[in-house]
Structure 1
Amino acid sequence: MHAGWREYLKQRLKTPSKFYSVGLEFGEDSIQVSVLTDELQNITWVKQQLLPIHDWQKHLRNYVSQESLTNTPCHVVLSPSHYQIQQLEKPQVSDSELAQALVWSVKDLMPNQEDIVVDYFELPVQSAGENKVNVVALPENTFEELTDGIMHTGLDLKSISILELIMADLVESDDDAILTLVQESCQEMCLNIIKGGQVYFSRRLRGYENLPTFSEEELQMGVGDNLSVEIQRSMDYFESQLRQAPVKKILLAIESPHLEKLAQMMQQLTFMTVEPMHIDVKHAEELTYRSSFIGSLGAAFVQKNGSANEN
């Protein structure tokens, strides 16, 4: 009883944060931090910081203290290197038993047999006769380290999501389908087709991990052609198997110095509108948007959109 009272008092005595939200993206070798404020419903991007992944709890705790971010709502997005995602047949069990049933289903597909935690999301439409779920899995000790570490920094952890789902919060797709290509540094490319704020199709593209380092000449030596073929295959599946109207636009979030050139090449090859993806947000004068910020900014905007896809 006494412990319960202490926890209640601790919550009551929390000092409200002057900031609106903190978005954290856990990448391969760093953590991206984006901070938003909200004055009279005018959301502004005010801080951006890159922290090393090694001993990240100490670095993040120091940053939170230094910038007076204690008690700020915090939303986390994991880059693809931190989790496995599999599409599996939905077990024939009750909803209350589904998560546990999926643990056993996906554990056999993991590279080792350590304990895991899973969550899942269902796609709005599926091919005829299919009943599948997308299962997200990560090691249990990684999940505990993540949640405990963030809470010990003083941030108010609200949600944990993944890169594929964050895209749906950022793209204004309405009734028109939009295809997004997002790539973190030296990682697999995430292809999503989004419609009406939901992910309808998602896959990883392997073999493009070094694309951000390519010169214009290297991009023209078959890379654009191969990437366009992969995009066309995905759009064909979306139209023919899922029976959806054609994709209207392609958005690129790739940290390449030649992104505009890559967009032009792909537009010529796909005969579609292809543009670099950009988050239109009011920001502090010293901040400049880059594709590599999209994960942490997307996470920070979860507070505005009121969604927590993964937790």
Structure 2
Amino acid sequence: MHPDGVALVQLGARQHPPRLLNTHFESCAPQDRPAVLRQTVRALHLNGAPCVCVLAPGMAGVLRVEAPDVPPDEIRAAVRWRVKDMLEFHVDDAVLDVFDVPGQKVRGPGRVMYVVAARRALVEAQIEAVHGAGLQLTAIDIPEMAQRNVAAALPDDAGGVAMLSLGARAGLITLTQGGTLYLARSLEFGYADLNAAERGTAAREQLVLEVQRSLDYYESHFSQPPIGSSVLAPTEEAVDGLAEAMGDGLAVPVRGLALDELVAADQAPPARDQARCLAALGGALRSEARVL
């Protein structure tokens, strides 16, 4: 689900790299997403196809908590008590998922893990929308993990990737290595702020600072080599000179994301559509199969 509508990506099965068969974006209000998804599935003849649904930004929160010292089969129950005062809604109304972060320098007490929390009613509405469209739901994912999937498919993954995606007024930084998500940070500004005449320079400086802070946190908290590269996802509107500005301010090389690193396509979609469909592409690249 895109903040401004519905984005859909279809990949060919059992191919490496996977073949890009369809990308589609339809702008709509949030309440119209189920109907638009249903119409899109019908138009593209996708009834019965397997589907990973990626929640729109803000539908779920990613919380960092101290890992409870309990057996694995008791982690979810222990975490539920840990996060109950961190949520904006009652914990009984929440759907929670957890994922560990390996390679931390801290052992025992103080070790952290990530908790994904979403309102149960919201998740159930997304499940109903997918089923109502005639798709076979295999998993529900979040933007942070979808972006992880994209980074994990890059040749840079073995050396570590700092990936940046920007919406109009928000953004997301993820740090991954070897297919593992180590850090995800949301930004409260986006490409519209970087392009604004009155504060574009300050916003670009702030962006470089936020990426550098993320890299510093990674190096200080995880027993891993430094991140090897920074990759910029396409944006719906071009931000001239962004890669160069970030390259000047960071100690890692910075480059743009090339679609042909991820999929085979007869013709690459325009950068605007690539940006709109990035999370959907990450969902399609997912290898795990689990619903929240």
After TM superposition, is the score higher than 0.5?
A: yes
Q: Which residue of 2 aligns with 1:13?
A: none
What's 1:233 paired with? 213
Aligned residue number for residue 175 of structure 1 = 158
SS of 1:283's equivalent in the other structure is coil
Question: Aligned pair 1:200/2:176, yes or no?
Answer: no
User: Which amino acid in 1 is paired with 2:145?
Assistant: L
Alpha-carbon distance between aligned partners in 2 of 1:38 and 1:44, rounded to the nearest angstrom: 10
What aligned pairs does 1:23-172 form with structure 2 within 5 A after superposition? 26-38=1-13, 43-52=19-28, 53-113=30-90, 115-129=93-107, 130-171=110-151, 172=154
CA distance in 2, matches of 1:143, 1:47: 24
CA contact (8 A) 2:167 2:236 kept: no
**Offset at residue 90 of structure 1 (A):** 1.9
1:177 is matched by which residue type in structure 2?
Answer: G
2:202 is matched with which residue?
222
Distance in 2 of aligned mates of 1:213 and 1:103: 37
Over alpha carbons, which structure has the higher Rg? 1
| CA separation of 1:142 and 1:220: change in aligned 2, threshold 3 A | closer
CA distance in 1, matches of 2:70, 2:95: 18
RMSD of aligned residue pairs (Cα, Å): 2.5
For 2:234 and 2:193, the matched residues in 1 are separated by 11
- Decide which moves more: 138-147 or 54-63: 54-63
Offset at residue 254 of structure 1 (A): 5.3
In the TM superposition, what is the alpha-carbon distance from 1:301 to its structure 2 partner? 2.1
Q: Which of 259, 277, 286 is residue 279 of structure 1 equivalent to?
A: 259
**Cα gap change, 1:275 to 1:166, in 2 (>3 Å):** same
Q: Does 1:300 align with 2:284?
A: yes
TM-score (norm 1): 0.80
Judging by fraction of residues, say which structure has more strand.
Answer: 1
Where do 4+ consecutive residues of structure 1 move more than 6 Å? none
- 1: distance between equivalents of 2:14 and 2:158? 31
Identity of paired residues, percent? Answer: 24
> What runs of 5+ residues in structure 2 fail to find an aligned partner?
none
SS at match of 1:49: strand
Measured in 1, the distance between the counterparts of 2:15 and 2:164 equals: 34
Tell whether the 8 Å contact from 1:179 to 1:193 is kept in structure 2 after alignment.
yes
**Distance 1:46-1:162 versus aligned 2 partners, 3 A rule:** same
Deviation of 1:96 (Å): 2.3
Are residues 183 and 63 of structure 1, via their aligned partners in 2, closer, same or farther at CA, if it must alter by over 3 Å? same
Letter matched to residue 273 of structure 1? P
Question: 1:253–1:292: 8 Å Cα contact kept in structure 2?
Answer: no
Aligned to 1:109, what secondary structure does the other structure show? coil
Question: Greater shift after overlay, 164-173 or 118-127?
Answer: 164-173
Rate the CA distance shift 1:39–1:248 in 2: closer, same or farther, 3 A.
closer
- Three-state SS of the structure 2 residue aligned to 1:45 is strand
